[in-house]
Amino acid sequence: MFEGNIFGKLDQKLQHAISDAGYKVPTPIQEAAIPSLLLGRDIIGCAQSGTGKTAAFMLPLLNRLIKIRKPRHIGHPRVLVLSPTRELAAQTAENVRAYSRHASIPFACVFGGVSQYGQIKEIKKGAEVLIACPGRLMDLMTQGIIYLDKVECFVLDEADRMLDMGFLPDIKRIISKLPRVRQSLFFSATMSPPMRKLAAELVTDPVEITIAPEAPTVEKINQRVMMVEKSQKDSLLLHLLQTHPEWTKVIVFAKMRHGADRVNKKLFRAKIPSAAIHSDKTQNQRTRALEGFRRGEVRVLVATDIASRGIDVPDVSCVVNMELPLESESYVHRIGRTARAGESGAAISFVSGSERAQLKAVERFIKKTIPVDRDHPFHSTDADVKSGKEGEGLAPAPWIHPANRNKANRKRNGRKSFLGRRQPDFGQKHND
């Protein structure tokens, strides 16, 4: 299936899963890391988000679990991945779900800010892989629900962010509970002296890998951000689709599979032909959805990043990001779906006040400030201020009354005001 590249060294079950996900050629970090990890070596990886590092470490670790089967012990995972944020932990879990779909490897993802009971339920199914944020992991260890004595492989992901967030004491406590003999992987976007010191305490005789992200090429894509409250993003999407009938092929990106399903259901209720593709869909379901999209039977394709690889459809009118991705390079991959074969394209990102960090990271990565479009009825001044964009671009259009700007639920029936107005045509590039 993958003769001639490193994916061919993985178990057939993993090869089928990554083929389902649209992987064809490994990224540089996957090419560099997978052979050493299959041999059981420790690794220090200096790599930005968006270089494919999750697959680089997760595929060989899952390969180990498939090849070396052991009795499952509830609350005693064999692989531990430590993540700095709940968003990164959840995204890593989505990848694990996709990669292990043919291998029956149970996993759990634990983080704070939500009830622990659903997470404990997954642990009690015999999770062999645990993706965790430090705080919730230590809570569950204190309660006697999780023990780290059987961890064979430990991954410290985005270590620089861990230190920035003040997790160093927690990390050291967690490491102290791990078996001395284990495989350890250390990933950081930067390798400062504190990073080196922490890495030296974690790994033994490591292979060192440094990968720079690909330079983005987004010149032909007309990019915009729309500042909107999180609760109003679905309404804004429906508004744009209803006022832009000329957008005949639209790809909408959601961060998680449940988000993709939610958006797809809302589009269905609004009688907008749509289909969702994500890691829970079978390959046949994805193929049918893509074929319908290519033929124009499906107007809107709702996708997650993990399922979006391999989407190569001509004449995509617009890409809409319901949320900005955690990995800046994923943003480039997403919006690149609309500028195929030398054509121009349009990309709109819905940004709430809590997404300031992701927006700034994307702008740094593409080396460009993305203009704000306030010409829509759901513009959020609060999100504008929190994102640091309030002084950029044009003010909201005069027909958008401030009293109506942030209402979550609008009665469209019988209204002929600004909701009926056409928005500017993003399909044509213009100067700002």
Task: Say what the pLDDT of residue 392 is.
Answer: 65
Domain topology for 6-211: Rossmann fold (3.40.50)
Residue 379 has pLDDT above 50, yes or no: yes
Tokens 């974690």 label which residue?
A: 202
Burial of residue 364, with CB atoms counted within 10 A of its CB: 0-12 exposed, 13-18 middle, 19 or more buried: exposed
For residue 124, give Cα distances in angstroms to 74, 102, 145, 253. 5, 21, 9, 32
**What is the maximum span of the chain, computed from C-alpha positions, in angstroms?**
71
Q: Is 205 left (phi over 0), alpha (psi -120 to 50) or beta?
A: left
Residue 421 has pLDDT above 70, yes or no: no
Tokens 């997954």 label which residue?
A: 122
Q: Which CATH architecture has domain 221-420?
A: 3-Layer(aba) Sandwich (3.40)
Task: Say what the pLDDT of residue 214 is.
Answer: 57
Task: Say what the pLDDT of residue 232 is.
Answer: 94
318-324: average pLDDT? 94
Of the given ranges (105-109, 240-244, 284-288, 306-310), which has the lowest mean pLDDT? Answer: 306-310
Residue 408 has pLDDT above 50, yes or no: no
Residues 273/249, Cβ–Cβ less than 8 Å: no
Task: Say what the pLDDT of residue 123 is.
Answer: 97
196-244 pLDDT per residue, tens: 889 999 999 999 998 875 555 567 788 999 999 999 999 999 999 999 9
What DSSP state is assigned to residue 418?
G
Name residues whose C-beta falls within 8 Å of residue 28's C-beta, 6 or more positions apart in sequence: 51, 52, 211
pLDDT band, residue 67 (cuts 50/70/90) = very high
* Structure tokens, 114: 């939500």
Task: Say what the pLDDT of residue 301 is.
Answer: 94
pTM for this structure?
0.64
* Stretch(es) of the chain classified as CATH 3.40.50.300: 6-211, 221-420
pLDDT band, residue 309 (cuts 50/70/90) = low
120-138: average pLDDT? 96
Q: Which has the higher per-residue pLDDT, 151 or 401?
A: 151
Name residues whose C-beta falls within 8 Å of residue 236's C-beta, 6 or more positions apart in sequence: 226, 228, 350, 376, 378
11-16: average pLDDT? 94
Alpha-carbon 250 to chain mean position: 19
79-88: average pLDDT? 90
Tokens 């064809």 label which residue?
A: 24
